[in-house]
Every structure is written in structure tokens, then in C-alpha cells.
Chain A
């Protein structure tokens, strides 16, 4: 049976959850204090590594019931189902191999989408069509076309969508963005963004998939590929282009790129030009950049987005009056006095969320947008996708952010979408 363990404090914090929410499991009695009609029925699509960061806190929320778990790995799915049922002292939680069964259940009000990246678009769109609220793990999409289709589906069906860029619910990131937005560092001319780089790998050993894994369903819309334990492992598929958009350019990059967007006030737009270079693995199944150096520009501002071998991990806003640096758990200003300045009610106050899950759940009830809505997610992920395209073509890509079109480069434009393996479609 697969191991299902509670998150460490570090994992809980990384997921943007308060320590109390993440680590203190409420009792069944407490859950019963909320009338059943007011409890949200939650389903998890995907029961792998990151799912734990959503599953364990969800068990602790008195106004939520985890009623379904879905995964192509039978053992992983069943382990989570068993934990949930033991926690509730009932059989309320049921397991599914196919996400479509989960979405067809009327007792599922909302879902966490925590599958590999190549599945996000199909599952988010299907959930929206089924009228389910969605918390989708980052990165939002594999391609620009997927992201745009997700935006349209979510808006068309009026469901509440939260993107797993939980730095938007972290006080230090909000504080950094507010200081920058209110000109405390002066006019920003440069933003430096750095995240973990990628990796190399071997080819793995192809073999028949084990009976407890539905390999065809794991591949879903991705090109046919032979099963191997390595390919199925997170530490490999993260860095295979068929299942990702540039590996950690998107997988980690979208967190800090999104924070840069927030600070610059560019949530619903994008850069004018993107160019970059990268070092790719020369062999092996991992084929996304190991290190990279990308620069994208807005009028008067350049963003230098690299792997962390070049710059310090985090986001640094550089203005003509000072600097603001932010990373998880770290917030530094230069001069230090900037960091002590207050933002008044007549200035730009940013959306305040201190817990990414709770913000989503509150917004499901209020009908309002959460702190990381789908359009914002799409715009941030588009930058990561364009970075990958520019790197792969080895040339500058010009972007019309208003019309969301690449300008004057048919090859780059062709890379804005990928065909899906049959029978899957957007």
C-alpha cells in the first residue's frame, strides 16, 4: 500500500497553509458541528506527492468533507480513501480511477486538480463543465491554447477557480508587492526572478506497466510512450516536455514569475518581448532546460528570469529609490527603512488572503474571485510558456499581450498549442 503521511511543517508552509490548518487535524466531532448541508464535498483528482498538501488540511476543515479521491495508481488512491474514512468514522469517501466518475458525482462540489501538468487543462475544463469549483495545482497549463480554453470554461460556467500559486496568500509576498506597487522602491526598472533549475536523467527501463497503474490513463493526452518506473516518477516527468512546459521554467518558475507580475501590476497583461538561452540535457528522457537565462520586457522594465545558478532564488524588484527582495519566509529591503513603511488606506492595497485554501472556500460561498483567479494564472503561465518557446527557437519572440498573439513568427505561433492523443480534446 502506498504511504500516506501528514505533511511536514515545511511542506505545509510551502503549500501556503497556516501551520494550524495544515497540521492540526480536527476531530470528526468538530466536523459534525457544521450542518451537513453547509459542508462542501471535496474530491481530489490525483493522489500523488502534492495531493497531500491539500488532502491533510482538508480533513481538518470543519466545513469540508473529502468525499472522493481519484488516481490512476490504485494503491495511492485507496490509501488516501482509507485515511479519510478512518478520520470521518464513515465510508463517505470513495475512490475512483477515472476522474470522470468523480466529476459525475452530485455530492462533489469542488475538486483539487493535482495531476501531472499535461492533465490540468482537460480536467479543469471537465470540472467547470460539471459545475464543480476548482483548485488547480500549478503550472496551469502545458500550452497557451490550453490556458485560454481553461479561462473561458471557468468563466462560462461561473465556478470558483483558485490557482496553486500560493505565494499570493503569503504575507511577505503581499507586502513586497504592495511596497513596489506604491512606489516605495521608486520607479522599478529591473526585476530579477530565479528558481531551481532542471535536471538530467537516463532513459529508464521500459517495461509493462504494473497492474495497479492505468498507464494509458496516466498518459492521457500526451504522446504514446513506453511505461517505466522512472517516467512515472515525479522527479522525471516534471522535466519531460511531453508532460510539462519547460520543466521548472513553469513548474517552479510560475510561482516567482507570478509574484513579479503581482508586484509590477501586470496581472492581466504580459510582456512585449521575450528572449533567452538555456542549457538542455544532451540525452536521456528529461529534455527540458537544466539552466536558463530569459529576459522579458515591459515598457521601462526588464525582468531577468533565470535558474538559480545565476541569481539568488527569489524575486528582487530594483527601483531608482531602492530594492525589495522576497522569497518564501524571507523579505529584505534596501534601504531597510523601505520595509518599515506603512501602506495607507488611500494607497493601493492588494487582495488580502492569508490562507490559500480558506480563501478559495470562502470565495466558493461568496461568489467572489479568489486571490489567484484563472486569468491571472493564465497570464503568468503564458510568460513561462513564451520563455520556453523563445529558448527552444533561440530567438526573440514578440508578444501582443492585448490580443494574445505572437507577432510575425509563424513557427513560434505554431508552438502555442499541441495536439492531444486521441480521444482526448479540450
Chain B
């Protein structure tokens, strides 16, 4: 049966291939005539001819003529005509216009005829569209008018003058829009004859004003815009007119802009405030800062930032005032404006905010200070870091880390050894981020002998971060190793932690030795460091030994958990090898918590021994449900992150499922096991 079905399919396939080959070998223009949205071989062949013709006008003319013939053929399908129009889109000249003009006369083909004609720059195309418009109605007429507008056909203005009086709103609107795009004085004259309160007319007038301005008719453009900038026009029209007016008149438009900024309208007022604030020149600036305090906060925010964006120094007092506003948006605008224009003068105020507790102000101020350029700013930040309140000084230490320089590093080094502890700790943390090799010994000294616990903790993190960042891990471990013998107990604990973070052979030797220390604190710290922090599988043997034999129950548990953590992340181990190690771990495990951890590893090992070991844990009532779940997970195919995982099969898998059926208390688990079996 299967072979018969295969033969039928093969026959169908051969027929299709033969059909396509026939189509490709036959004349593609003939094939295009019968195109039915089911085979694009013909159009691809013609497209290849267009590409091959390149800029050869004669070759392109041959293609165009043949496409025109396809269009003129009454037997050509609608889809064939559509496709021919797509092909004519880049290459159309006056040669294809007569055929396309005929398509413009029919509703079903007019849209695609325009597709071919709209970018055809010849006068013949323009004439064809105007002629077609005269005889068209409804949606077809609207489309033709739209294309006339896109072509900016100034010769169509008389035609459009008639069409704007259409009783059909769609035709009226299309004609008005086309006149706006054409934008000649004659087009504007027609638009002026229409009720300007009509939003479509107003929109077209706006576009026409832009066309007039682009053509150099500034006076004509201004006349139109002044007509649109005030009431009773829609606020969107007024905003747009104001925008263009400001572009043409510059600072002279500030009066109109400020009037709109005080309009109270939620859309127009901020748009106008932005425009007003962007107008350069002393008179415009004076006018803006004069009204600024009286503006609503939301509008003031916008104007302030507009002044900031053009680096207007006159805005600084208002920015500093805004920093203390009740409005969050205004406060943030004040911070950003002060940073943009204030230079070193703005630093004390910004430093105060950066050292404060109010968010997001504090973060924005720190970011602003970090991004302010120039040596005077740096000096001012360093000065604030020396003389401000402890909160401000600590904030400046964080800021200096974001703008590294020799002077900044010097200030951080100095502060890291000073008082109070909060400032010293912040300076130390910053050195961890930006300090160089020269700062590592100093950080180590703080780690072992810092004046407070806060500083020592900060130094520990900073020393690790700097050593890792600078690629000086081995020398840092060397320093820690050398200091171990003479260090007091709490420092030894810190050094062990440092070595575990930094890793490497020397650190591992030292830590493994420490797990055998007679000092219980050191031993405990070393086991915890290896179990919780160490990053690779090398200490697994040591940890398993402790898990099996150490007299301390808590250390045995700690070590076993560490062993299982490292085993779980040992991606390169073969599944079978992992299962063996899980088995060893389970032999040392006494608590359900570690056994659960082991089950988690078994889930990732798709072998029979894994499923068998998981099933064996079902004897423990505390693990029954999870062990059964692991068996079912392994016995079923899974899809994880786009990877297909095959089900574990075989006699031991079957036995494991039988065990689930026998022992599980959850009916769903039993049922699933039956189905998987």
C-alpha cells in the first residue's frame, strides 16, 4: 500500500516539475497572461530579464513593450495584470502608459495601474491620470487623485479645483490633500477658497505652506501659517503651524509660542513650550525665562529641558530652583538642566541631591555628575567629596568611580584610608571598580587591617573585583596565602573567602589544607568556601571525604551539599559517570534535603541506571513523590529549550515504572506510569 502511495506522489511531483520546466522554457509573457497566484515562475523570469537589461534602454523598452502587450490582452487574468504592473513599477515610461490608462478606467485594475504609473515621471503618465480622473467616480477617483497628489502635478490644479467642490467627502478630502502636496500658489488659492476650519483643509494648508517655503516663497508660507496658528483651529493644527512658523521666523515667533504655551491645553502647551525654549537669541531667552516661573509644572519641565538642550546659561537659576520642586518630573528636569549648563557651579547642588535619600533624584543626580565633563567639574566633585556631609562625600566617591582619572583615583585612595567609615568604605568599593595594579596592595592592607569592619568588608569585595578585572588573580592569591599564617582568626576567614572567589591551583592547595586545620573556625570557613563558592569540580573528592568521615554533622552536611552543587554543574561529565557519583553521595546522605538535591541531578541523566537509582529512593516516604516524579520525567520524552530529549527505555526503566505503579500514592502519577509503560 505504502509503495503505491509513494509512486503516486512521485508521479505528481514529476508532473509538477515538468510543468514548471515547461513554464520556464515557454515564453514567460504568455505564461504571465494566465497567472493565477499559484506559480511565479513567469514573473521571476521577466524580473531576471529586467535585471539583465540593467540600464540598457533598448532592452528595457523591449520588456516594457511586452508587459504592455500583456496588459492590453483581454485574455490576461486579473492576477496577471497585477503582476505586470508590479514589474512595470521601476521601468515604466511613456511606452506603457496607453495600456495602463485603459486599466485606470476599470475599478478592479485602477489601483494596480497607479502602482505602475505613480512613479512614472513622463508627462504622458501625468496626462493619463488627469484624463482618467475626469471620467472616474468613487474609490477609483479617490485613488487617482491621491496619485496626482503624490506626483505633485501642478498642472492638475484646475481639475482639483472642481473636485474640491464634490459632494462626496472622500473625494473632497482627497482633492484637498492633493492640493496641499502640490503646494503651489495656485493650489493654495484653491485651498483658501475652502472653509479653513475644515481639518482636512487646514492640514493641506500646512503642507502647502511647507512646499511654498521649500520653493523659496517665504512670504506666502508665512501668510498661510499665521492664518493657522491661532484659534479657532484644532490644537494639532496650531501646534504644527507654530512649529513651521518658528522654523521660518526664528526668535520672532517667540510671542506666538509663549501664548500657546500658556493656553492650558494638554497637547498644545508643552509642544509650544518646547518650541519657545528652542528659539535661540537673547530676546527669546528673556521672554522665556520671564514666563517660566508662572507656567504649570508640566509645561515648565518641557521648557526648562528645551533651554538645557540648547545650553542656555540663563536657565541655571530656574534649574536650581526646580531641583527643590514638589513635582518629580520638574525636579529631574532641574537636575538634568543644571548638569547640562551649570558646569562646576552646579556641582554643590547636584552633590546634595546625590547624597540624599529621595529616589529617583539621587540616581539621576549621580548619573548627571558622572557625565559632566571638564577639569573644573572634577575638582568640584573631589572638593564635595572632601568637605560635604558624610552622605554627600560617600555619594561623590561613587560618582568618581564612574569618571576615572588619576585625580579621581588619588581622591579615592585618600578617602579610603580616612574617616568616617561610610565614606572610606564607599571609596574602597570604588577603587575595586576603577583602581589599577598600583592600588591592589593598598586594598589588601585595608582588607587585613582596615579601621572598621565596614571598610574591611568593602576592601574584601574590592580586592577580589580588582584582581579579577586586572587579571592579577595569582598574585592576589599569593598575597592572601602569605598572610594566612600570621593573620588573626577573623582575617583568616576573610582570606579563605578571597581565595575561594579568586580560584586557581595555589588557592585550592591552601583551602584543602585549611580543611584539615586544627583550628575549627578556619576548617569551617574552608569547607564553606569550597562548598558554596568554589567554581570547578576539583575539590569534589575532598568534599566527599569530609561528607563521609568528618565528626561534625554540620560540616558533613555542608560538604555533601557542596559536592552535589559542583556535580550538578559539571556539564562535561558523562551521564553514567554522574550517576555513579550521585550513588556515592547518596551513600553519605542522611537527610531528605540532600537526597532531593541528588534527585535533581538524576533528572538530567537520561540513562537506565539513573532511573533505577531514582526509583530506589521511593522506599523513603519523604522522597516518594519526588522520586516518582523523576522516574516519570525520565521515562517520557521531553522538550527543553528547543532540544528533544528521548525517553529512557529498557527493562530497568520498565521496572522503575512498575515501582511507581506499585508505590506511588498519587493517582495521576500511577496513571501516567501505566501509560508510559
Contacts and interface: CB of A to CB of B under 8 A. Distances in A.
A and B are interacting partners: yes
B55 interface: yes
A342 interface: yes
Given A223-B82, A368-B305, A423 B143 contact: yes
Grouping DSSP codes into helix (H, G, I), strand (E, B) and loop, the B interface class, with mixed when no group exceeds half, is helix
A415 B177 CA distance: 23
A28 B169 CA distance: 44
Interface string B104-142: 000010111011011111000000000000000001101
Contacts of B279: none
A366 B176 CA distance: 35
Contacts of B39: 203, 283
B469 interface: yes
B598 to A, nearest CB: 28
Contact of A415 (B89, B121, B243, B374): B89
Interface in A185-240: 203, 206, 223-226
Contacts of A368: 305, 309
Nearest to A287: B40
A156 interface: yes
B236 interface: yes
A423 to B, nearest CB: 4
Interface in B384-406: 403-405
Interface in B126-181: 139-140, 142-144, 146-147, 149-150, 170, 174, 177
B150 A417 contact: yes
A344 B89 contact: no
Nearest to A152: B210
A346 B374 contact: yes
A422 B54 contact: no
Given A395-B54, A411-B91, A422 B244 contact: no
Nearest to B86: A223
A59 B243 CA distance: 34
Given A365-B301, A419-B115, A414 B403 contact: no
A280 B305 CA distance: 49
B267 interface: yes
A426 B170 CA distance: 14
B305 A366 contact: yes
A158 B274 contact: yes
A425 B150 contact: yes
A310 interface: no
Given A282-B41, A414-B119, A156 B89 contact: no
A179 to B, nearest CB: 15
A349 interface: yes
Interface in B282-311: 298, 301-302, 305-306, 309
B545 interface: no
A334 interface: no
A418 B236 CA distance: 28
Contacts of A145: 150
B603 to A, nearest CB: 21
Contact of B305 (A223, A345, A367, A415): A367
Nearest to B107: A422
Contact of B147 (A280, A394, A419): A419
B118 A131 contact: no
B329 to A, nearest CB: 5
Given A366-B329, A411-B91, A417 B118 contact: yes
B40 A284 contact: yes
A411 B302 contact: no
A223 B112 contact: yes
Contact of B367 (A287, A352, A394): A352
Interface in A155-180: 155-158
Contacts of B38: 203
Q: Considering residues A344, A366, A410, A421, which has the most beta carbons from chain B within 10 angstroms of its beta carbon?
A: A366
A366 B274 CA distance: 9
A34 to B, nearest CB: 11
Interface in B363-396: 367, 370-374, 377-378
Contact of B115 (A223, A340, A365, A392): A223
B91 A155 contact: no
B275 A158 contact: yes
Contacts of B270: 367
A330 to B, nearest CB: 17
B236 A425 contact: no
Nearest to B203: A129
Nearest to A410: B121
B405 A418 contact: no
A206 B37 contact: yes
A367 B210 CA distance: 23
Contacts of B539: none
Interface string B243-260: 110000000000000000
B54 A366 contact: no
Contact of B206 (A156, A158, A365, A409): A156
Interface in B222-275: 235-236, 239-240, 243-244, 267, 270-271, 273-275
Contact of B301 (A158, A224, A367): A367
Nearest to B91: A411
Interface in A282-334: 282-285, 287
A394 B44 contact: no
B4 to A, nearest CB: 25
A264 interface: no
B146 A425 contact: yes
Contacts of A268: none
B434 interface: yes
Given A131-B236, A131-B239, A367-B306, A422 B120 contact: no
A407 interface: no
Q: Considering residues B44, B108, B203, B240, which has the most beta carbons from chain A within 10 angstroms of its beta carbon?
A: B240
A130 B301 CA distance: 23
A282 B146 contact: no
A393 B371 contact: no
B565 to A, nearest CB: 24
B150 A426 contact: yes
B333 interface: yes
Interface string B42-82: 00100100111011000010000000000000000000001
A19 interface: no
B373 A224 contact: no
B118 A419 contact: yes
A423 B111 contact: no
Contact of B146 (A223, A225, A285, A423): A423
B355 interface: no
A256 B113 CA distance: 36
Interface in B531-548: none
A412 interface: yes
A365 B90 CA distance: 44
B239 A422 contact: no
A419 B111 contact: yes
Contacts of A283: 20, 39-41, 44
B342 interface: no
Interface of A: 129-131, 145, 152, 155-158, 203, 206, 223-226, 280, 282-285, 287, 340, 342, 344-346, 349, 352, 365-368, 392-395, 409-426
Given A156-B206, A158-B243, 17 more contacts: A157-B243, A158-B271, A226-B37, A283-B44, A366-B332, A368-B305, A368-B309, A414-B119, A419-B117, A419-B118, A419-B119, A419-B150, A422-B110, A422-B114, A422-B139, A423-B142, A425-B149
Leading 3 A-B pairs by shortest Cβ distance: A422-B143, A367-B302, A158-B271
Interface of B: 20, 37-41, 44, 47, 50-52, 54-55, 60, 82, 86, 89-92, 108, 110-112, 114-115, 117-121, 139-140, 142-144, 146-147, 149-150, 170, 174, 177, 203, 206, 210, 235-236, 239-240, 243-244, 267, 270-271, 273-275, 298, 301-302, 305-306, 309, 329, 332-333, 367, 370-374, 377-378, 403-405, 434, 469
19 contacts: A156-B210, A203-B37, A223-B112, A223-B115, A282-B40, A342-B404, A345-B370, A345-B373, A393-B90, A394-B54, A417-B118, A417-B150, A418-B115, A420-B146, A422-B110, A423-B142, A423-B143, A423-B170, A425-B177
